[in-house]
Chains A and B, each alone.
Chain A
Amino acid sequence: MVEDATAPIENVAELQLGKEFQDIHILSNAQVAVILQASAGYAVSRDEELNDVYRKVQRYVNRFTSMTNPEKEHQEVVDELDNLQDALTAFRKETEDGDEQELHPAEVAALMNLVATDTMVEEAVALIPSLSRFPEAAIDEILDIIRSTIIRIVS
């Protein structure tokens, strides 16, 4: 693989996404599943064919989302996911200097994709290195928020 030598160094572990990606809205797999489901219904009703890439992505997100429950009302799951994303985006922690730290959208999406009910702080930091700027207690709090949402959705 060849990275253009003049391009800015991209490293999501340090939350450097590149200057073109500063104003994007990042989604977790579960949210993508919701969007695609709605879009698929719409296309089918207009008798359009879904393209290959679309179907592959749909298969992928349906397999790898920990936050789904076919027995639950679709809208309920959507609401839980939105609440979770709001809760994570609104998460603030005061550091010792009195500054406030918050979660970057990339971290929010990664957390929603990778964390399961039994994920511990150590694993979360290994998978999402940029979380190490938070104290352990704060990360535990974050994992707790996600854990309770997963339990609510799956039960």
Chain B
Amino acid sequence: MFYVKTLSHEIVLEPVHFGQKLRATLVRLLKEQVEGLALANYGYVVNVIEVPEDQIKSGVIEYDTGSVIFTVQYTALLLRPFIHEVLDAVVSQCNPLGFFAFVGPLRIFVSKHSMPEDMFNGFDGEKDAWISDDKEVVIASGSGVRLKIKGRTVEQGNITAIGTIKDNYLGLIDDGEAQGPV
């Protein structure tokens, strides 16, 4: 789910940046450091929306280095998987254990145990796709699927979620060829 929240971040500013463009430099550094980051609890920071002027308070001088530490508050657009939420995702890769799908930068794995019964044995190595017994449903790279998030893990700056398509109304949405509105 995408949401907007106010977060705070510490920026260490070297003396060379002091001067008239201090605030502009702070905002630029903040965006460089924080955009695209995966925060453990809050999810991926997609975009820094606003850095209110009055929220940049005076910094604290670090005695050892002479640099100044600013604590900056900013509003950010974040993406985080919530347990039991239903999301649409794009399939990227299929393997014998299941398939990987992406919601933007967020990677979701759906294991074959979380697929409907009639797809359990449906991995086709040649086509690199998961196919149902009646051949009606083909989940391959580029397909859109609707899945439910069951769990979430954060490792090395990336968030991976576990999903399922076993419940009603979940599963293949489109085959990725027609890219018009749903």
Measured between C-beta atoms, what is the minimum distance from A64 to chain B in Å?
A: 5
Q: Check if B90 sits within 8 Å of A24, measured CB to CB.
A: no
Interface size class of A (residues with CB under 8 A): 35 or more
Q: Which residues of B sit under 8 angstroms from A87, Cβ to Cβ? A: none
A3 within 8 A of B: yes
Known: A1-B152, A24-B5. A53 touches B169 (CB 8 A): no
Bound form: Cα–Cα A65–B2 in Å: 13
Which of the candidate stretches B15-23, B58-66, B75-83, B120-128 sits at the interface with the other chain? B75-83
* Most chain B Cβ neighbours within 10 Å, of A31, A56, A123: A56
A113 within 8 A of B: yes
Q: Which residues of B sit under 8 angstroms from A27, Cβ to Cβ? A: 2-4, 77
Known: A2-B153, A66-B181, A126-B167. A53 touches B144 (CB 8 A): no
A128 within 8 A of B: yes
Measured between C-beta atoms, what is the minimum distance from B171 to chain A in Å?
A: 12
A51 within 8 A of B: yes
Q: Check if B103 sits within 8 Å of A60, measured CB to CB.
A: yes
Which among B36, B86, B179 is the interface contact of A127 at CB below 8 angstroms?
B86
Which of the candidate stretches A6-14, A78-86, A95-103, A132-140 sits at the interface with the other chain? A6-14
In the complex, number of A-B residue pairs with CB atoms less than 8 Å apart: 117
Which among A23, A31, A54 is the interface contact of B36 at CB below 8 angstroms?
A54
Interface size of B by CB at 8 A reads: 41
B14 within 8 A of A: no
Binding site of A, secondary structure by majority: helix, strand, loop or mixed?
helix
Known: A26-B3, A110-B86, A116-B182. A57 touches B105 (CB 8 A): yes
26 CB contacts below 8 A, A to B, read A1-B162, A11-B83, A12-B82, A12-B83, A12-B85, A20-B41, A26-B3, A27-B2, A27-B77, A32-B46, A32-B77, A35-B47, A53-B46, A57-B44, A57-B79, A61-B104, A64-B88, A66-B181, A67-B181, A110-B1, A114-B146, A126-B168, A126-B169, A127-B86, A127-B169, A129-B84
Using a CB–CB distance below 8 Å, which chain B residues touch chain A? 1-5, 35-36, 41-42, 44-47, 49, 77, 79, 82-88, 90, 102-105, 144, 146, 151-153, 161-162, 167-169, 179, 181-182
